[in-house]
């Protein structure tokens, strides 16, 4: 990508060549700030403990004073990252959450994600905004279907993966068996870094195999009775001291480690960052056991933000002027003001509150006066941010998921793919007198990415078709339309299961085929809906020139 010198025109107007003044011509500050940041997502199959681990990491990072759990009981409150009423009621995460805290001398940006497959599109968007991932695996269930899919998504995006076997405080499978399954299912080599002492349900401590561990602190022995809502306390012991304390149990763990190291080798930083290996550790997030060690592992080994490829084939340097990509849009975070919040991962340069930046898609300026750092459902004002940070801009007019915002030399990052919907339903307002609220709500939920909204002249404006990856997205629509927009809606399922992008030129031909319907999204794309794969394949054979493109993320949905 060619380098141009930003013109010194007013930031609010931009320039004819798409540049706005760069606030930081010197790239030293953003590069130094980026080197101190670790931005990662926690991902897994539902019920593996993601939100509980997120809470425990925030506790150990000093961001909160007491950790909650999902569906808290016995005095434990709910988790901070699950702030929507529907999340609290169902005990699941249905939207991503961004948390930031400082640990040691590093700034940690932690993104929690939904685990349920119906919300996998939200998880995919988060993975475009991070530099590594923590894959959480249930000690009793191992590699579940959604876990395997997420491993593949991370690999396709080139994200290094740290694997955490969670719930070791409960009876589960053997550690060696789990590692064998990881290798077989993912094709990656699991390398042990923190090995459990004691079987599942008898979690006494961790053998520390991280590079540089001193022999006199090779055994992390958890203190009895510590953990839960507060930090777990532990004692560093030499192996000799550990044998005196836990004897045969520690000896068994040492023998297991020897077998794994002989087979898989030790942790290697280059192989980990290249995606060939995944460091493995064991934890019990609900007891906060292993959480501090996970934070240390991420700070020491996870990659910092790096230069990022642009859509035109060039590269945007971390030290260049500000740029960032919108990976999430959320309405209704402040019910009193009906705000519209755009979450931006800073990719380069320094973000400064109040600076006017440009939207690469529209060419229009975007104000940043109301910039915040969001912690679950709460927020605080932020003056500046650096590569790797997540900034929430309130009432960012005209901004959508995937948009690139920038200052200085124009840049646009590759768009975030849309998943292929498999569930479709006609949506109508229960009370026709609430039609304005209905229109506003459906439009906002579409631009947030909660569902895709499709329309046709035949069905008319009052009866849009909602398209979703999973049926639980429809539950979210009904809940939020009633609670946030004051408009209850009725949904009528449609007999379609496949969507393909087509063109306005081919729409009449497809619309004339029995069982096929053509609609247009609010973004202007034309989609043909099919009841089954057989009908689609038949049309493709009989009309080879008709455009029927699968969505970019079709194979991952």
Does 349 show up as a binding residue in the annotation? no
Instruction: Collect all residues with Cβ–Cβ distance below 8 Å to 179 and sequence separation of at least 6.
Output: 190, 192, 260, 264, 280
Does 303 show up as a binding residue in the annotation? no
Quote the CA–CA distance of 99 and 109 in Å, as a whole number. 6
Are the beta carbons of 438 and 488 closer than 8 angstroms? no
Instruction: Collect all residues with Cβ–Cβ distance below 8 Å to 108 and sequence separation of at least 6.
Output: 37, 38, 39, 57, 61, 100, 101, 102, 295, 298, 299
Largest Cα separation within the chain, whole Å, is: 80
Give the DSSP letter of residue 18: S
Mark residue 261 as left, alpha or beta (left: phi above 0; alpha: psi -120 to 50; beta: remaining).
Answer: alpha
Does 113 show up as a binding residue in the annotation? yes
Does 114 show up as a binding residue in the annotation? yes
Quote the tokens at residue 223: 């203190």
Quote the CA–CA distance of 107 and 103 in Å, as a whole number. 6
Burial of 356 (0-12, 13-18, 19+ CB in 10 A): middle
Instruction: Collect all residues with Cβ–Cβ distance below 8 Å to 358 and sequence separation of at least 6.
Output: 14, 18, 20, 364, 365, 366, 405, 406, 407, 410
Q: What are phi and psi of 244, to 5 degrees?
A: -65, -30
Does 123 show up as a binding residue in the annotation? no
Q: Which residue in the block uniquely carries the two structure tokens 């996970």?
A: 294
Annotated binding site for GTP: 112-116
Annotated binding site: 112-116
């Amino acid at each position: 990508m060619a380098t141009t010198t930003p013109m010194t025109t007013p930031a609010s107007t931009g320039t004819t060549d798409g540049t706005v003044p760069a606030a930081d011509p010197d790239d030293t500050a953003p590069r130094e700030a980026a080197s101190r940041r670790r931005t990662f997502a926690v991902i897994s199959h539902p019920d593996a403990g993601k939100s509980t681990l997120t809470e425990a990491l925030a506790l150990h990072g000093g961001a909160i004073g007491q950790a909650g759990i999902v569906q808290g009981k016995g005095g434990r409150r709910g988790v901070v990252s699950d702030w929507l009423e529907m999340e609290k009621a169902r005990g699941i995460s249905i939207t991503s959450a961004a948390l930031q805290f400082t640990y040691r001398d590093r700034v940690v940006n932690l993104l929690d994600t939904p685990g349920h497959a119906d919300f996998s599109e939200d998880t995919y968007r988060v993975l475009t905004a991070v530099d590594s991932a923590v894959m959480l695996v249930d000690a009793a269930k191992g590699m579940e279907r959604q876990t395997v899919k997420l491993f593949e998504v991370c690999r396709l995006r080139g994200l290094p993966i740290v694997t955490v076997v969670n719930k070791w405080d409960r009876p589960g499978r053997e550690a060696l068996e789990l590692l064998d399954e990881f290798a077989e299912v993912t094709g990656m080599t699991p390398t042990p870094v923190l090995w459990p002492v004691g079987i599942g349900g008898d979690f006494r401590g961790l053998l520390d195999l991280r590079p540089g561990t001193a022999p006199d602190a090779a055994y992390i022995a958890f203190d009895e009775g510590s953990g839960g809502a507060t930090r777990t306390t532990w004692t560093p012991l030499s192996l000799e001291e550990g044998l005196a304390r836990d004897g045969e149990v520690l000896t068994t763990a040492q023998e297991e480690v020897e077998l794994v190291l002989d087979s898989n080798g030790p942790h290697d930083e280059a192989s980990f960052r290249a995606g060939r290996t995944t460091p493995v550790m064991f934890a019990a997030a609900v007891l906060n056991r292993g959480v501090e060690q996970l934070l240390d592992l991420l700070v020491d080994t996870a990659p910092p933000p790096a230069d990022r490829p642009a859509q035109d084939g060039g590269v945007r340097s971390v030290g260049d002027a500000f740029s960032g990509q919108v990976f999430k849009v959320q309405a209704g975070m402040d019910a009193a003001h009906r705000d519209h919040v755009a979450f931006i991962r800073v990719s380069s340069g320094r973000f400064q509150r109040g600076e006017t930046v440009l939207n690469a898609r529209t060419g229009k300026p975007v104000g940043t006066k109301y910039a915040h750092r969001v912690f679950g459902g709460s927020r605080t004002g932020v003056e500046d941010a650096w590569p790797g940070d997540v900034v929430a801009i309130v009432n960012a007019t005209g901004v959508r998921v995937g948009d690139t915002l920038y200052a200085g030399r124009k840049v646009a990052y590759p768009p975030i793919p849309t998943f292929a919907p498999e569930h479709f339903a006609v949506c109508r307002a229960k009370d026709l007198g609430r039609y304005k609220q209905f229109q506003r709500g459906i439009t906002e939920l579409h631009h947030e990415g909660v569902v895709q909204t499709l329309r046709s002249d035949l069905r008319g404006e009052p009866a849009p078709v909602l398209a979703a990856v999973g049926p639980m997205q429809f539950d979210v629509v009904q809940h939020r339309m009633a609670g946030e927009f004051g408009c209850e809606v009725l949904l009528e399922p449609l007999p379609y299961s496949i969507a393909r992008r087509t063109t306005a030129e081919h729409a009449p031909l497809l619309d004339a085929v029995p069982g096929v319907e053509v609609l247009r999204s609010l973004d202007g794309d034309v989609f043909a809906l099919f009841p089954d794969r057989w009908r689609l394949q038949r049309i493709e054979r009989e009309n080879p020139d008709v455009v029927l493109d699968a969505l970019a993320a079709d194979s991952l949905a």
